[in-house]
Chain A
């Protein structure tokens, strides 16, 4: 009796799971099958739920029209450099704000955290102004430098470093290890999980960034993938939606690969972050 009841429960569980998964993946399904339809089939009413004919040529055209190679390289440079700089500045600042009793440290931390509630729209115009005045308008540096440190990363790192016992640093200090040594031998090794999480969150954020590139770039050959993608969508005739969808699949694939390769760390980091926060 009890067994059949629990089996019934398991079956309900799986049915529910299947339904939720189905609802969630419909947009992705529609994206992928739309990207391989011919223009004619895509615009036919009512639409088909399975393509009659697979038109893989859409991907070739999308690749060319996105100028995928250039845009991919631009996006990669911005994303990787920005993520690495963010981690370095974040760990250094987090370490000091957590373990060093520097004068004004509390105030600095408070001000950094306060910037988290500033709506990004407030920064749009002044960042454009500052970047232009610094002579960095329409360069990839403009997409890196302003974002090479951010409040979220600094705060997250501080929280993590708080958990490292002070005794470790004291012992190291007695052994005559300097500050740089402490970073390399204690801080970095002990916060690797945090580094992975923050790194991934930064990676995804930078890879998908659109508004700042839109405001700070002008020339085609410097455009990042999302910018190219939006421009292609704007310029493309409504009859050529399969092309837009193929371009979308191409833009998603790189970040999807990174995610699938690291999703365990991702999940762990977010869950730990939630409890800490």
Chain B
């Protein structure tokens, strides 16, 4: 009995310490997630949002109506395609480049620290700034890229006004910003691989490529999973770069799902469909994460 009281006493401290974080998480994370979920089944007018109280759910229940509308919306389907197009360029290239760079600087030579510092700098530059930089870089007339192409007598394309090229430019910028960060994560993994493994492989006559393929890649698979999930998160947040660089154009070719959700909610004030879109995005994320977990678990158990 006495011990229970003392336990409660010490736990009281625990709850008190937990309280600030928990209050904020509940009010600004858990509650919004639920609110959004309910609103995604409601038809909600701007005026109803204005008049509702903090814990009211505005609008009228319309079941799956919003979802039906969203799934019939061509622009929404297109935005999923655009986002996938971005992901197909962005994810594999970032993974491969950061791994290769990590392998490259996992050697001791002078200048390595300088090298990784410089490669890390793009990561601290805001998306707004890097978007503006890349607009200047890929400008069809005054841009660096086309100026260099001109030196080789190539007429560079009009990058950001081309339906197929605008998204890759955004992807290249995103890769540039993140490679330094993920390179460091991979480097940490590499430095944790015991050198004896390499020595044994060398005695067995493994070529550098074989060592890479059969030691480095499998032993880094855990970090690859973490990076993959982080990259996926990045894919599902592409908003600012579109807002600044293309405004969704040309011909809606860079309208991503988050950009569309923003427009739907804050320009067209269609809250119900905006919420439905965000939940479809959420479901896609969950499916990918589950699929990814299953896939990696299987791989582990067969080894």
A, B from the same assembly: yes
Once the chains bind, are A24 and B122 in contact (CB under 8 Å)?
yes
Residue of B nearest to A122 (CB): B278
Once the chains bind, are A115 and B25 in contact (CB under 8 Å)?
yes
CA separation between A252 and B129, bound complex, in Å?
A: 8
Residue of A nearest to B134 (CB): A27
Once the chains bind, are B278 and A21 in contact (CB under 8 Å)?
no
In A174-218, which residues have CB < 8 Å from any B CB?
179, 204, 207-208, 210-211, 214-215
- Judged by a CB distance under 8 angstroms, whether A126 is at the interface is yes
Once the chains bind, are A96 and B128 in contact (CB under 8 Å)?
no
Once the chains bind, are A120 and B244 in contact (CB under 8 Å)?
no
Contacts of B141 in A (CB 8 A): 43, 45, 47
Once the chains bind, are A130 and B286 in contact (CB under 8 Å)?
no
Once the chains bind, are B28 and A127 in contact (CB under 8 Å)?
yes
Given contact pairs A47-B142, A204-B124, A270-B181, A119 touches B236 in the complex (Cβ within 8 A): yes
Contacts of A101 in B (CB 8 A): 11
Once the chains bind, are B111 and A14 in contact (CB under 8 Å)?
yes
Contacts of B133 in A (CB 8 A): 27-28, 30-31, 245, 248
CA separation between A1 and B96, bound complex, in Å?
A: 34
Binds A, one of B46-54, B159-167, B295-303: B46-54
Binds A, one of B67-75, B183-191, B199-207: B183-191
Given contact pairs A115-B33, A251-B129, A49 touches B147 in the complex (Cβ within 8 A): yes
Once the chains bind, are B278 and A124 in contact (CB under 8 Å)?
yes
Query: How near does chain A come to B181, taking the closest CB pair, in angstroms?
Result: 7
Contacts of A272 in B (CB 8 A): 188
Contacts of A171 in B (CB 8 A): none
Contacts of B18 in A (CB 8 A): 92-93, 96-97, 102, 108
Contacts of A111 in B (CB 8 A): 25, 30
Query: How near does chain A come to B164, taking the closest CB pair, in angstroms?
Result: 22
Contacts of B237 in A (CB 8 A): 119-121
Annotate A223-251 by CB proximity to B: 1 below 8 A, 0 otherwise.
Answer: 00010011001000000010011001001
Contacts of B271 in A (CB 8 A): 125
- Judged by a CB distance under 8 angstroms, whether B126 is at the interface is yes
Once the chains bind, are B278 and A100 in contact (CB under 8 Å)?
no
Contacting residue for B239 out of A17, A211, A271, CB 8 A: A211
By secondary structure, the A interface counts as helix
- Judged by a CB distance under 8 angstroms, whether B268 is at the interface is no
Once the chains bind, are B30 and A115 in contact (CB under 8 Å)?
yes
What band does the interface of chain A fall in when counting residues whose beta carbon is under 8 Å from B?
35 or more
Contacts of B30 in A (CB 8 A): 111, 115
- Judged by a CB distance under 8 angstroms, whether A266 is at the interface is yes
Given contact pairs A24-B119, A92-B17, A251 touches B126 in the complex (Cβ within 8 A): yes
Once the chains bind, are A245 and B29 in contact (CB under 8 Å)?
no
Q: Which 7 A-B pairs have the closest CB atoms?
A: A126-B32, A208-B126, A271-B188, A93-B21, A274-B185, A146-B28, A100-B14
29 sampled A-B residue pairs with Cβ under 8 A: A13-B109, A14-B109, A20-B115, A26-B137, A27-B134, A43-B142, A93-B20, A93-B22, A117-B289, A118-B33, A119-B281, A119-B282, A121-B239, A122-B281, A123-B36, A125-B261, A126-B33, A146-B28, A148-B24, A179-B17, A208-B124, A211-B239, A230-B128, A248-B133, A251-B129, A255-B125, A255-B126, A256-B124, A271-B191
Contact surface of A with B, Cβ cutoff 8 Å: 10, 13-14, 16-17, 20-21, 24-28, 30-31, 34, 42-47, 49, 88-90, 92-93, 95-97, 100-103, 105, 108, 111-112, 115-130, 133-134, 145-149, 151, 154, 179, 204, 207-208, 210-211, 214-215, 226, 229-230, 233, 241, 244-245, 248, 251-252, 255-256, 259, 263, 266-267, 270-275, 277
Contacts A123-B36, A124-B262, A130-B31 known; 10 new A-B pairs at CB < 8 A: A34-B136, A93-B21, A120-B237, A149-B20, A149-B25, A204-B123, A244-B132, A255-B124, A259-B121, A267-B120
